[in-house]
């Protein structure tokens, strides 16, 4: 198997970190970036190359790309994995918070992609993996801004795939289901912050209880399912355009596509 130069964003925890460990073990040259560099020191010990980067700062992004190109001369795989979930009612969530959600989940991803593509194009090779979610194909109450960003990543990736086809660059969308990571903690923190009082207090309470119950009972797939999938994509000469993996990802998206809006609404609300 040929060894590749890989750049992973959002690698300080969860899916990004576990997959980085797997790829390092397989002998790839793995650069990991996140705001919390102190949480990537173990990756450095294993043989990875952590760099501090804020996905919303263009200077940080430029510095990372320049550093890798100077040292390695190429980037074979870019995994745009950084992101978080902003949850709360549309009415209660401040627009500046919504804007920040787009800055991280969409515009940060797009900026890094713009800076990496020219090198892949010159090499006439490369793979870009964009982390969406089963939430990029469906929806839940109180998740308007999060789902909006993931729907955007889906559309962005499809257009990018067509544009880069002639340059032999693969564009892959990763659509995880429920994975056991810090995601649930951030989700609960945001809901409680914005919508725990007022008109949506009752719905918020139900959603918090349902989410806590799911995470506390250990439901959700282990990050191993993601690291195995990423390793498979990295190895593939012609990877699939989408990988839907993890708890509920396939059935929920199937229901969304096949059952129609009103029935799907009922199914979603029956879980809250």
Which residues are designated catalytic? 12, 132, 146, 150
How would DSSP label each residue in 49-70?
Answer: EEEE--TT-HHHHHHHHHHHHH
Beta strands in the chain (DSSP E): 5-9, 29-34, 49-52, 77-80, 126-131, 169-176, 242-245
d(CA 73, CA 51): 17
d(CA 85, CA 132): 11
Minimal CA–CA distance to 90: which of 148, 133, 47? 148
The answer to whether 19 and 231 are in contact (CB under 8 A) is yes
Minimal CA–CA distance to 141: which of 180, 96, 199, 99? 199
d(CA 196, CA 214): 19
Length of the chain: 272
């Amino acid at each position: 198997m040929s060894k590749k130069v890989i750049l992973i964003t959002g690698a300080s925890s969860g899916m990004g970190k576990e997959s980085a460990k797997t790829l390092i073990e397989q002998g790839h040259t793995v650069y990991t970036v996140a705001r919390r560099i102190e949480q990537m020191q173990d990756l450095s010990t294993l043989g990875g190359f952590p760099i501090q980067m804020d996905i919303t700062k263009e200077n940080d992004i430029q510095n990372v790309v320049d550093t890798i190109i100077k040292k390695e001369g190429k980037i074979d795989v870019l995994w745009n994995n950084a992101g978080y979930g902003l949850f709360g009612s549309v009415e209660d969530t401040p627009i500046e918070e919504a804007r920040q959600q787009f800055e991280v989940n969409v515009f940060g991803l797009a900026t890094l992609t713009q800076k990496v593509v020219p090198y892949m194009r010159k090499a006439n090779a490369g793979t870009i993996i964009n982390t969406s979610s089963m939430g990029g194909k469906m929806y839940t109450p109180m998740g308007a801004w999060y789902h909006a960003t993931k729907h955007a990543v889906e559309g962005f990736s499809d257009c990018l795939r067509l544009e880069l086809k002639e340059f032999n660059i693969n564009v892959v969308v990763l659509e995880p289901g429920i994975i056991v990571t810090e995601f649930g903690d951030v989700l609960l923190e945001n809901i409680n912050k914005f919508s725990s009082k007022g008109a949506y207090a009752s719905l918020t309470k139900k959603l918090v209880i349902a989410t806590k119950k799911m995470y506390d009972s250990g439901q959700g797939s282990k990050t191993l399912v993601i690291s195995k999938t990423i390793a498979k994509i990295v190895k593939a000469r012609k990877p699939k355009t989408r990988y839907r993996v993890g708890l509920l990802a396939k059935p929920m998206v199937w229901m969304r596509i096949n059952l129609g809006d009103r029935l799907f609404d009922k199914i979603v609300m029956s879980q809250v």
